[in-house]
Structure 1
Amino acid sequence: MDFSIWMLSPSDWLIFFMAALFIGMSKTGIQGVSLLSIPLMAMIFGAKPSTGIMLPILCFADLMAVLYYRRIAEWKYIFKLLPSALIGVSIALLVDKVIPPEEFKQLMGICLLVVFLFMLWAELKGKENNISAHWWYAPSFGILGGFTTMIGNAAGPVLAIYLLSMKLPKYSFVGTNAWFFLVINYLKMPVQVIVWNNINTSSLILGSLAIPFVVVGGISGIKLVKKLPEKGFRYFTIIMTFVSVLLLII
């Protein structure tokens, strides 16, 4: 058992629990907020070790979101994304030891920003996003999502941009998001245990302490989704996604 991760200051514990709150809020409604937890976790535990601590927390939050939105999901979009997402995960494993993850995060952030700006332009002009009809559109987002989720649990804005471009109603958006990440994050668990060896007994116990904060965040996210009208939810998600993309670039 690694006891070093328990040597946290009071401020570190506060940041850790705040990150868990953000994760819960993101999974049940406030898309993009979980990306704020990535630099917070990395600041406490280091970049790669933090992904092992964060993943079990994400898995619990995914399960909570799916239990609530279990009957609301557009499975055709999930099936379009999953095969290429697994390819993205495999690519991340291959290049992990060659190129620093931060450089890839910035590259992905720039790519996402270009796609996001195009989608926003189509939104403001009231035009259809014709690019989304092409055969390569969904697989491209799947690869981006699989890659970014593996190198830093940072696929939230990738899926958000894709689902926004599909113009899903708010509950379908959140439910589809929840199911996609439930599948992909649980598939990542054995990879990080066996290949990266950054999930162990200590990280699981530490993650369990975050559960109450994930639950509070999840309930807050559910309440906010209920209060927001369809257009308000869409605009709020666009703003939070934009902030998330900027965080990848910075």
Structure 2
Amino acid sequence: MIELFSYELSHSDLWMILSVSVLIGMSKTGVHGAGMIAVPLLAAVFGGKQSSGFLLPILCLADIFGVVYYHRHAAWDHLWKLFPWAAAGTLLGTWVGNYIDDEAFKLIMAIIIFASVGLMIWLEKRKKNEEKVPAYFWLAALMGVAGGFTSMVGNLAGSVMALYLLSVHLPKNSFIGTAAWFFMVLNWFKLPFHIFSWHTITVDSFLFDLVTLPAIGLGALIGVAIIKKIPEKQYRWFIIAMTVVAAFGMLL
């Protein structure tokens, strides 16, 4: 066993945490789906709700890498539509998170993700003119609330927001830059609720999270290298495929 701050961990637990940090770094620089894999891995070490609090500062640190690299590509017109609804979803998630267990949570997440995939396909068929898609006020509201809710309850809003950003036909770099800014703002907004309402972030957990910073940076560099090799057209299908895989993963 290894003692680190107030934690007693096995060597496998420590390697799991470092692997999660690398995956989160990759997810913030465009490798969508890596973050979805990280969530159940960390839950295996700490349990559902506690792992959510432990993971949040890692996400906040990783968001900085994503924003620094892709900040100039953000589509702010979409961000301003999403932020108020995401805040509402975060408040809802804070309340609901006190009343659902891990199994119910996984089922809810899978339903939301599959429904989002269906919605995106419907929009693809209904509107060929990509300029008209963002005019759906209810789409930004629905995805914003769903994004805030799923992010607060389990740090799993990546697929929800990916489907919204795909639906408005953002190119690869704009997709990554917009997502980077969205999650940096949302994750820092969530911190007080984890600290003062759920009590899932402590001084020791935060100091432990800081130790993972080199692994996060390594993951961010790996993510940038991978995304550079994926052509624009293939990236869209890469995102869709990883989203569906993540939804199935929630059911396991």
TM-score by length of 2: 0.91
Distance of 1:40 and 1:47 partners within structure 2: 10
Listed as ranges, the matches of 1:1-250 within 5 Å are: 6-100=7-101, 102-120=103-121, 127=128, 133-250=135-252
Moved more, 48-57 or 98-107: 98-107
Structure 2 unaligned blocks of 5 or more: none
Query: Given the superposition, is the C-alpha separation of residues 162 and 57 from structure 1 closer, same or farther in structure 2, using an over 3 Å criterion?
Result: same
Superposed CA deviations along residues 57-100 of structure 1, whole A, max 9, x for unmatched, are 00000011101112110011111111011111111122222233
CA deviation digits over 1:99-151, x for unaligned, max 9? Answer: 33542442242132133134346658994687764321110001101110111
CA distance in 2, matches of 1:134, 1:118: 12
State the identity as a percent: 40
The code of the aligned residue for 1:248 comes to M
Alpha-carbon displacement from aligned partner over 1:136-192 (angstroms, at most 9, x marks no partner): 111000110111011111101010011111111100000000000000000111221
CA contact (8 A) 1:5 1:45 kept: no
Can you give the 5+ residue segments of structure 1 that lack an aligned partner in the other structure? none
Distance in 2 separating the partners of 1:126 and 1:96? 36
Q: Compare 82-91 and 116-125 and name the one that shifted more.
A: 116-125
Number of equivalenced pairs: 249
Please give the alpha-carbon distance, in whole angstroms, between the structure 2 residues aligned to 1:167 and 1:66: 20
Aligned partner of 2:142: which letter?
S
Shift of 1:54: 0.5
CA RMSD after TM alignment = 2.2
1:8 offset after TM fit, Å? 0.9
SS across alignment from 1:198: coil
After TM superposition, where is structure 1 displaced by more than 6 Å over at least 4 residues in a row? none
Residue 9 of structure 2 aligns to a residue whose secondary structure is: coil
Q: Which amino acid aligns with 1:215?
A: G
Most deviating of 226-235 and 180-189: 226-235
Partners of 2:126 and 2:88 in 1: how far apart?
A: 34
